[in-house]
Structure 1
């Protein structure tokens, strides 16, 4: 047994947490960039290739601008492996030290991050204003160091986490593939899938979450071949999931996942707990060690790992320009699923909390604070602007959360169209067809790039909701894809179906 004792100060823990959260807000892990770049080169679907180009260009812009990759800067999740020969020199507990680091990171005046955490999840859901508290998992291990894994998990992918307990002889692979086929694209592929098998319900979920932070190595695994049942399952799932044809942003294509990670643990003879957690295209995480010599030193990545891709939405000869200020129902009726549009003019914003308030006012016959008739609404909660920015990163949020409000809003307001992320559910599609109000998508994972299309921004209603307030944006050539047209045709159905058939034809 080592007699050496390491003293790690509370200040070094707090600073390291704050620095790491800032770091992962604007730097993608380089392994993900290499794998996504390879997928971009191989991709044959024009829509998916365009989506990946936006994600890669956005990533490079965020790295140079040191601004968030995605407007949803995530729920903070910490895995701390504390050596049993370490003494933490602090009057505060570990959770308090970590949460102070979260506060410092999210309130950083040079790169403020979006506060998305709400307290009292059952009723008031009041924003904590600083994104604390973090979710902290602690493990005591031999040694005289503390190893931290710091991750920021977006709501779109977190909401797609799933768990089941299979019969002992049931196929894990079949359940995973069937489940992913039902998740839609709200988790922002192309990303990763974490799988935990065994233990208990909470252990399986914990394994699935933690294993997502392992290095991406699928190409290496395919080259050398599997050396364990877990690696066999990884390869099988990687191939079967990509064969679904879901593709980038659910538009249909060759790559849905760049890797699949699997962790197992002994379990009860009567059980087979299985957890599935997707990781979105933001893929924010970092690992560092504190050994008592100071806070973590985080070295910027080598930007030569980023591909030199030029993206100019206005250069597309197939894109249709749309003037939002002169829009008519007759014009929106001509838009077709899969078509690329460039939006210019005045665009309203509104997401979950704003929609609830709008519907509450409609239900009691009260006037709305903004006239929605003839307008287009964008489901977004932007990051706070800094310096000379008009608005911070402003990518779309998952639209299915607005489905429950769609019929009421369209019927009562005369709203012309909607912009968000991922597919719409049957109730929303029915309302879209009934009211002939089409739905478009912007690319999730391209928030900083999208913000450059916004030329002015002002809050016009529900200012107390913070990032969920209603803004009016003036946009210029904001690139979107028609997702559901007025006839109910959906690119999220036609795209994956086409590419699933193409892929199966090659097997």
Structure 2
């Protein structure tokens, strides 16, 4: 930034632009000063500190950095982005800032949005053996039950373009059946094969299939698959028209889609579902079988076929183009 520019304004603008792609609620790490590399290092280092915004709120700010932390924390949460971008009170859990001297003619600033799934523990080794950690008491978390009368169990094999219209933005679904996976590299390959008029390896057909944006972790100790959480869907936006022309039924990912992609979903009477970002291990428990079906050489970026049982998802964009990432925050902010 220029020396006279407002760090507060810059952070607020970028948080609005990030939307839900970083799996809020989370922690913002901000580094100020040094040079660009130093500011990025400061931002990363700040995220390793304790979550203490509640303590700071209680005692009050003692310097300009703490004042900025509190102001950003309060005002970002007023935007109403909320968990997974669906609207709500909490978008950030804490705002961490570290600063460093820099040349008077510059103001390097870096910001790292940190998903709440990133956890760390602090300990000291004193030479008397391995560190010991006490497991948290699970009773401090409430037992939550979802009323099943609001959930729709869906057999993927029964779905067609014609009956996708029964699902509306905001519906909770439990998917069972077979889906395919594809991330950035796989999408790029698919489009290359499409443009060359070539069949996919093993004569894989994408028509009328659901594509899950995921790169699963390798399984261990008898697992069917390792953690398999959704990746940010906007990176696949540029491939959506090609995928629609191929004839896919729908997509599963996380976070919002850009308006041109929403328009394509409506045009092709498709749908976009979201799984919960940050819940990769829990989602993997609904995957009962996993096998590579194309591009094995790409490792986790290969195309897998998953057989899922009661995989929890939410309809984010329905076949009419209604996006919960638009209606959710609007509804919240109108309360």
Same fold (TM > 0.5) = yes
* Aligned position for 2:179: 347
* Aligned position for 1:404: 238
| CA distances 1:54-91 after superposition (whole Å, capped 9, x unpaired) | xxxxxxxxxxxxxxxxxxxxxxxxxxxxxxxxxxxxxx
Tell me by how many angstroms 1:318 deviates: 1.0
Whether the 8 Å CA contact 2:179–2:305 is kept in 1: the answer is yes
* Aligned position for 1:236: 71
Check 1:246–1:289 CA distance in 2 against 1; reply closer, same or farther (3 A cut).
same
Whether the 8 Å CA contact 2:193–2:199 is kept in 1: the answer is yes
* Aligned position for 1:497: 330
2:37 maps to which of 187, 191, 202: 202
1:371 maps to which of 201, 205, 212: 205
* Aligned position for 1:359: 191
TM-score, normalised by the number of residues in structure 2: 0.93
SS of the equivalent of 2:50 reads coil
Whether the 8 Å CA contact 1:404–1:427 is kept in 2: the answer is no
Tell me by how many angstroms 1:449 deviates: 1.0
| CA distances 1:330-379 after superposition (whole Å, capped 9, x unpaired) | 22122221111111111111111111111110010001231111111111
Whether the 8 Å CA contact 2:124–2:131 is kept in 1: the answer is no
1:383 maps to which of 214, 217, 229: 217
* Aligned position for 1:102: none
1:184 maps to which of 9, 16, 19: 19
Cα distance in 2, alignment partners of residues 325 and 231 from structure 1: 55
Check 1:342–1:426 CA distance in 2 against 1; reply closer, same or farther (3 A cut).
same
Q: How does 1:162-311 map to 2 (within 5 A)?
A: 165=1, 167-287=2-122, 293=127, 297-304=130-137, 307-310=140-143
SS of the equivalent of 1:460 reads strand
Check 1:458–1:302 CA distance in 2 against 1; reply closer, same or farther (3 A cut).
same
| CA distances 1:228-286 after superposition (whole Å, capped 9, x unpaired) | 11111111000011011111111111101110011122222222222211111112334
- Confirm or deny that 1:469 pairs with 2:298: no
* Aligned position for 1:331: 163
- Confirm or deny that 1:457 pairs with 2:252: no
* Aligned position for 1:439: 272
Tell me by how many angstroms 1:287 deviates: 4.7
| CA distances 1:117-160 after superposition (whole Å, capped 9, x unpaired) | xxxxxxxxxxxxxxxxxxxxxxxxxxxxxxxxxxxxxxxxxxxx
Whether the 8 Å CA contact 1:195–1:261 is kept in 2: the answer is yes
Number of aligned residue pairs: give it.
333
Cα distance in 2, alignment partners of residues 245 and 469 from structure 1: 36
Check 1:311–1:353 CA distance in 2 against 1; reply closer, same or farther (3 A cut).
farther
Check 1:273–1:306 CA distance in 2 against 1; reply closer, same or farther (3 A cut).
farther
Whether the 8 Å CA contact 1:247–1:253 is kept in 2: the answer is yes
Tell me by how many angstroms 1:497 deviates: 2.6
Gaps of 5+ in 2: none
Whether the 8 Å CA contact 2:207–2:247 is kept in 1: the answer is yes
* Aligned position for 1:39: none
Tell me by how many angstroms 1:424 deviates: 1.2
Whether the 8 Å CA contact 2:35–2:102 is kept in 1: the answer is yes
Cα distance in 2, alignment partners of residues 501 and 243 from structure 1: 12
Whether the 8 Å CA contact 1:185–1:422 is kept in 2: the answer is yes
SS of the equivalent of 1:261 reads strand
Cα distance in 1, alignment partners of residues 54 and 303 from structure 2: 45
SS of the equivalent of 1:321 reads strand
TM-score, normalised by the number of residues in structure 1: 0.63
Cα distance in 2, alignment partners of residues 210 and 345 from structure 1: 43
- Confirm or deny that 1:425 pairs with 2:258: yes
Check 1:463–1:185 CA distance in 2 against 1; reply closer, same or farther (3 A cut).
same
Check 1:256–1:341 CA distance in 2 against 1; reply closer, same or farther (3 A cut).
same
